[in-house]
Amino acid sequence: MVPHALSTFALPLLLLPLAAFSQSVSFKKDTGICETTPNVRQFSGYIDLDNQKNDTFFFWFFESRDEPDQKPLTLWLNGGPGCTSMIGLFEENGPCLVNDDKESTSLNPYSWTNHTNMLYIDQPFGAGFSAGRKVRTNKEAAKYLWHGLQTWFADDAFSKYANRDFILASESYGAHFGPVFTSYFKSQNKKIASGKVKGVPINISKLIIGNGKHDPMIQTNATITFAIDPPGYDPIVTNKTLIQETEDAFEKECAPALSKCNDGGSDSECNDAVKICTRRVQLPMWGNRDPNDLRITDDGNKTSEINDEDYDEQSAATHYLKFLRDNKHKVGAEGKSFDQCDSGVHARFSGSGDTGRSAINDLAEIVEAGEVDVMLWVGDADQKANWVGVHEVVSQMAWSGNHAFADAQMESLKLDDQEVGQYKVIDGPPGITFVRVYQAGHQMPQYQRKTAATVFARFINGADMGETDSSKVGKFRPSRNVASGAANSALPAGTNNLTAFVASFIVLLTFV
């Protein structure tokens, strides 16, 4: 087990062929770092999986500020692949914001902890403060994360959250992580119910993907459309010769390469396809604008289309890096360095071809099954995963509501008499919620925290998206499976730690 100078709940070694495994959770609690609301608890530290490979996930958990014993558990994962979930915590939806001095924090009034218990995990191994074996694919990452969650739920400090509704929220490459992880968690739940696997069912009831990179073919093509006419903004590219050359490059180079990749192509062919499409289509169509926010030129200057307040908040966002590096030992984090996004992790996933393969079918299967509510939301100033392309993904993917979705008109999203976006809801099952947020870039909640928090709360609470009063977000009600107590059925009566069933976790090796 990786040594941590923290309070540790250790578990007995499991004697297995070739390697000995142990699981433990070690953490510091109520440090006063970030969340300073009285009587709201927080824990940060490590989930250790394998003492041979030093596999360990860094996590940071915050109780809900309001009725934590009644609220669901939301897992936030940033994308990348290889980006730390501390981006989400400090820039988008966590309890605090780092001040301009980079040494102190202030409470975030729009923290998602107003509505849910929040768990942030750096994954896969190598992202943020996490460390361990070199994971290469989405499916591998799903298996290790599932095992990490099993270990976390088994600790006495967190076992009470095992029977809660589980909400998975991610963004960007999370369009791959989200559907693959959801499918794996659901498949493990079935094996637990049948007795093939011992563990705690993860009662995933909702999936949220922000500014997702779902399908390289559809979304790369939409890059051209968006550059010519980004709804609500001035054109990004006006050079007709460049536009024609880029359209030709898409048809003759990018599209064939992606088709080959997604028709059983090799890992290297998929990796090459991404490079071709990025170089020949995306980069030319991003013009001189920041791909994360078209309202900013690539030299960092503002265009006339950006609100000064939005820009100031966005430009100050990376203050958290210095703050976190300076305070890492206080929250139980280790490691000599900390990067927002690990290039080695990204390179391995690219080399596996996963970044070039479409995730659209994985998403379609989840939507069509109707067991998990899905929301896709997009900041409308994002170029990397523009909202027109994400909308087209939902319209084209193979699910029974695609025509109804394509034909439905967008409705105005108003909060406190201000129009902040548009939305459409296809009631299910199967159904989907789609939200366009005005004046927001790639990490949407970072730019429009109030809008994001309100929409998030309404989605998880099943409230009306059309309500104009931002204070009306509904009240959370547990899903049917959780309310019936199904989540506890996998454990013997009175068991709330992993000791009683640790021997069943051979799944870490066999990847059942």
Q: Provide the whole-model pTM.
A: 0.89
Q: Which residue has the tokens 């270990």?
A: 151
Q: Does residue 15 surpass a pLDDT of 80? A: no
> CB-hemisphere CA count at 13 Å for 382?
29
Question: At 327, is the secondary structure helix, strand, or coil?
Answer: helix
Structure tokens at 109: 């009034």
Q: Does residue 447 surpass a pLDDT of 90? A: yes
Strand segments (E) across 65-165: 73-77, 96-98, 105-107, 117-121
442 given a catalytic annotation: yes
Q: Which of 24, 44, 159, 172 is catalytic?
A: 172
E strand or H helix at 388: helix 387-396
Question: At 478, is the secondary structure helix, strand, or coil?
Answer: coil
CA distances from 352 to 256, 276, 349 (A): 19, 16, 5
329 given a catalytic annotation: no
Q: Does residue 509 surpass a pLDDT of 60? A: no
Q: Does residue 187 surpass a pLDDT of 60? A: yes
Q: Does residue 205 surpass a pLDDT of 50? A: yes
Structure tokens at 149: 């969650």
Phi-psi region of 421 (alpha: psi -120 to 50; beta: other; left: phi over 0): left
pLDDT (mean) for 356-367: 97
Q: Judge whether 380 and 293 are in contact, CB under 8 Å.
A: no
Euclidean distance between CA atoms 134 and 125, whole angstroms: 7
Question: At 363, is the secondary structure helix, strand, or coil?
Answer: helix
Band of pLDDT at residue 64, cut at 50, 70 and 90: very high
- The strand pair at 411-415 and 73-77 is best described as unpaired
Q: Judge whether 426 and 402 are in contact, CB under 8 Å.
A: no
Q: Which of 346, 442, 470, 479 is catalytic?
A: 442
214 given a catalytic annotation: no
Average pLDDT, the chain: 87
Helix 216-228 to helix 255-262 angle, to the nearest 10 degrees? Answer: 160
E strand or H helix at 295: strand 293-297
Burial of 353 (0-12, 13-18, 19+ CB in 10 A): buried
- pLDDT, tens digit, 9 for 90 and up, residues 78-120: 999 999 999 999 999 999 999 988 889 999 999 999 999 999 9
In three-state form (DSSP H/G/I as H, E/B as E, the rest C), the secondary structure along 494-511 is CCCCHHHHHHHCCHHHHC
Residues 6+ apart with CB under 8 A from 397: 215, 360, 361, 363, 364, 367
Q: Which of 350, 382, 470, 479 is catalytic?
A: 382
Euclidean distance between CA atoms 23 and 9, whole angstroms: 9
Q: Could you tell me the domains of the chain?
A: 1-214+307-485+502-512 (3.40.50.1820)
